Amino acid sequence: MPHVAKNKAITNARIKSLKPNGKSHQVLWDSRVGGLGLRVRASGRHVWLVRYRDPDGNNRRKTLGPWTERERDGAFTIPQARTEAQRELGQLAGGGDVAARRKNEPSLEELWERFLDDKSQRLAKETLGSYRSCWDVWIAPVLGRKRKLASIAGADVFDLHDAVTNNSGRRDRSRDRGGGRHMANRVVATLSSMMSFAGRRGMLPRGSNPCRLFDGWHKEVRKRRFLGDDELVKLLAVIEAEERAAWAELESLPPNRVQLRPRVVARVSAITGLRVLMLTAGRPSEILGSRWEDVDLDAGVITLQSRKTGVEQNFGLALPPQAVSALKRLATVADTSGWVVASRMYPTRHLTTFGLLWARLRTAAGLPTDLTPYVLRRTAATTARHLGISMSHTATYLGHANTSITERAYAAPIATDGQRVGVAVADHYDKLSREAGHVRH
């Protein structure tokens, strides 16, 4: 049973004098504002509440929020709690039932379901996967699925960000779920998108997004790593060696070992797929998910069914002659699954990742272990810029909707650009000077 203290004016000194007993909670009632109380939980947490009667005469209590001695977002000092209690009790005096209204308020889980249903019709599956990961691993466990939207304050956003940064705050701590500084920013950005959506759909007042004033973002340095010429030479040599070995194994396969053919064909298709990835600057998932029916070798194009450009139409991935040649050779031994890059384990499926093959080739080429196959896409974009290809054409090559994405995330800045501009300006000044007969010496 809770211990109820006699009504006296609540002070900070009085609050601090109460020691939690670890078994039951205690309640202090304020003598200045009738109905205002402070519950001291057995765990030591202090929470403000108000008590009132609903229109049917039932006793009810409503939690206002945590106590704080100094002002901070999401908590109430004693003067703030008294003001908030008078406001809430004033609404009740006018016939409102705060508890009933709160019961009907949408929960965080209801928002997530509506948010996911809306986004699943318009976003790529990779983006949806990122949203689901943020929700399942962090937002739902830390904030609570049944949490009412209106109760989420700015302090909760900071607490969520800290929990992800420190990889803490989840109920399931059986294994590391990949917290950290970058993930913390992603989780808060996902929550902010959800809350903005709630405002647009009338689930919250517009402009009440608790993330809008969040300023605790971790500074991130975008990695724009690409392969240099020396690294490219080493990687190309390793890829060519793997191609020769794979084809040699397939061509030397004896007739009595026909059961091994699917595995060897899968090896050939994997290295060919990686070669095509390198030549087209496609995304790994696009090459891996391509079917032969999507490949037009005569036109030199792979038709992709979806693309992360926001444009609801098929996108053609251009194939240079070298890629066409590699695919034509692969087509002569392709299996009946219909996939360009066949799976070694499942005859009717495609390979889902270049991970194992890439790790082996990366090691053989002496490349850093943190490089993924995606570095080939960044390398192609940067190489195009170094060859003098315009940013707009490079963006088209990568399938980007605008050049800002290409410039920000893929094409590394060219150090000589500034020099070229400086030389051009200086040459122009010299030309003007010569025309005026004042050549400098």
DSSP string, 54-76: -TT--EEEEEEEEB-SS--TT-B
Q: Whole-angstrom Cα distance, residue 414 to residue 437?
A: 36
Cβ-Cβ contacts under 8 Å for 324 (sequence gap 6 or more): 297, 300
Output the pLDDT for position 172. Answer: 47
Tokens of 229: 């010429």
Do 376 and 367 meet the contact criterion of CB atoms below 8 Å apart? Answer: no
Q: What are the pLDDT digits (tens) for 152-168? A: 888 889 889 988 988 86
Size of the chain in residues: 441
Q: How confident is the model at residue 190 (pLDDT cuts 50, 70, 90)?
A: very high
Angstrom distance (rounded) from CA 52 to CA 90: 11
pLDDT for 174 equals: 37
Residue, of 430 and 297, whose pLDDT is higher? 297
Tokens of 190: 């996902």
The whole-number pLDDT of residue 405 equals 65
- From CA 158, how far away is CA 154, in angstroms rounded? 7
* Higher-pLDDT residue of 32, 218: 32
Would you say 410 and 377 are in contact if contact means Cβ atoms under 8 Å apart? Answer: yes
Chain segment 18-77, per-residue pLDDT in tens: 777 666 678 888 888 888 988 887 777 888 888 887 666 677 788 888 888 888 767 889
For residues 264-289, average pLDDT: 88
In this predicted model, which residue has the larger pLDDT, 259 or 172? Answer: 259
Most confident option among 324-328, 407-411, 429-433: 324-328
* Terminal CA-CA length for the chain: 98
Task: Evaluate if residue 354 carries a pLDDT over 80.
Answer: yes
- At 438, the pLDDT band (50, 70, 90 cuts) reads very low
Return the pLDDT at 271.
93
Residue 139 has pLDDT above 90, yes or no: yes
Using one digit for the tens of pLDDT, what is the confidence trace for 407-424?
A: 665 555 544 444 445 556
User: What is the average pLDDT across 388-402?
Assistant: 75
**Nearest Cα to Cα of residue 395 among 407, 386, 383:** 407
pLDDT of 374 over the 50 cut: yes
What's residue 138's pLDDT? 92
Mean pLDDT of 374-378: 86
- How far is Cα 374 from Cα 277, in angstroms, rounded to an integer? 9
Q: Please give the Cα distance from 170 to 363 (Å, whole number).
A: 37
Q: Write down the pLDDT at residue 192.
A: 93
Mean pLDDT of 369-390: 82
Question: What pLDDT shows up at residue 416?
Answer: 45
What is the average pLDDT across 107-114?
93
Query: What pLDDT score was predicted for residue 253?
Result: 85
Provide mean pLDDT across the span 326-353: 85
Number of alpha carbons in the 13 Å side-chain half-sphere of residue 313: 5
Question: Which residues lie closer than 8 Å to 172 by C-beta, 6 or more apart?
Answer: 141
pLDDT of residue 440: 42
Tell me: pLDDT of 309 over 50. no
Cα 366 from Cα 313, distance rounded (Å): 40
Q: Tokens 């850093």 identify what position?
A: 368
Buried-state track 18-30, b at ≥16 Cβ within 10 A, e below 16: beeeeeebbbbbb
26-29 and 3-4 strand pairing: parallel
Lowest mean pLDDT among 1-5, 297-301, 322-326, 331-335: 1-5
pLDDT at 245 over 90: yes
What whole-number distance in Å separates Cα of residue 156 and Cα of residue 143? 8
More confident residue, 14 or 347: 14
CA–CA separation, 48 and 78 (whole Å): 9
Mean pLDDT (the chain) is 79
In the predicted structure, residue 95 carries a pLDDT above the cut 60? no
Contact status, residue 195 vs residue 147, Cβ threshold 8 Å: no
Q: Collapse the DSSP code of 430 into the 3-class scheme (helix H, G, I; strand E, B; otherwise coil) and give the result.
A: helix
For residues 130 and 53, the model is more confident at: 130
**By percentage, how much of the chain surpasses pLDDT 90?**
18
Say yes or no to pLDDT of 111 above 90: yes
